[in-house]
Amino acid sequence: EAQVTQNPRYLITVTGKKLTVTCSQNMNHEYMSWYRQDPGLGLRQIYYSMNVEVTDKGDVPEGYKVSRKEKRNFPLILESPSPNQTSLYFCASSPTGTAPYEQYFGPGTRLTVT
Amino acid sequence: GNSVTQMEGPVTLSEEAFLTINCTYTATGYPSLFWYVQYPGEGLQLLLKATKADDKGSNKGFEATYRKETTSFHLEKGSVQVSDSAVYFCALSDGGYGNQFYFGTGTSLTVIP
């Protein structure tokens, strides 16, 4: 089954404790992206990657890191989480080539930072 | 710049009622437009899309027409069901480098029997 998977689905952590949220897709998509979803703000893009070893900042990159060492994986790293990073996070992927590039979303990771 | 403005919710309708969720956009160039749906506890799923002016996207009884003159992409359904209860997001993509999507804030729909 074609899908985007994220782990963990739920995470509660404390301020300053480094964490990684994994994202993997099995559709051989070149493009991957991370979003955060907050009430009243919709989805905002954190980082995206056009291909292996190519990453770029989205609208809200502060406090986050990403890497793209393999085509299928795109982990999101919070080196020193803070309470304002409490949010619902989505990973997405899409093919590239001919627009429009529909994005396929993972199930989400709900992060709470205390 | 690019942006999407979406009708605020929440919206509560009785089963079989007519649904309209308004969406307007601001964009440079010729964007593609999308409606995504998010069911409780799940990620976003593509509901329908349109790639150029006057295109009509449709799926599962939902429709939306790309109106360049009014920069709108309103979502409609003639008769909603309880199973349509979800959050609906309007989005655009300019198709440029980065495939950046711009999402509206989402509209929560609850359909009561």
pLDDT tens-digit readout, A20-59: 999 999 999 999 999 999 988 889 999 999 889 999 999 8
Taking the Cβ of residue B107 and every Cβ of chain A, the question of whether any pair is shorter than 8 Å is answered with: no
- The pLDDT score that the predictor gives to residue A99 is 62
Q: Are the beta carbons of A43 and A58 closer than 8 angstroms?
A: no
Nearest to residue B35, comparing CAs of B8, B63, B68, B7?
Answer: B63
Tally A–B CB contacts below 8 A: 64
Chain A CA closest to residue B41: A107
Q: Collect all residues with Cβ–Cβ distance below 8 Å to B101 and sequence separation of at least 6.
A: A33, A43, A45, A103, B34, B91, B92, B93
- For residue range B62-79, list pLDDT tens digits in order: 999 999 999 999 999 999
Work out the end-to-end distance of chain A between its first and last CA atoms, rounded to an integer number of angstroms. Answer: 36
pLDDT tier at A100, thresholds 50, 70, 90 = low
Angstrom distance (rounded) from CA B45 to CA B62: 14
Q: Say if CB A66 and CB A35 are below 8 A apart.
A: no
B99 touches chain A (CB under 8 A): yes
Query: What Rg, from alpha-carbon coordinates, does chain A have?
Result: 13
pLDDT band at A114 (very low <50, low <70, confident <90, very high): very high
pLDDT for the residue A80: 97
* pLDDT above 70: residue B103: yes
More confident site: B95 or B30: B30
Q: Is A88 on the interface with B (CB under 8 A)?
A: no
In this prediction, residue A95 carries a pLDDT of: 84
Quote the CA–CA distance of A34 and A11 in Å, as a whole number: 17
Picking from A102, A77, A83, the residue whose alpha carbon sits closest to that of residue A92 is A102
pLDDT tens-digit readout, A66-82: 999 999 999 999 999 99
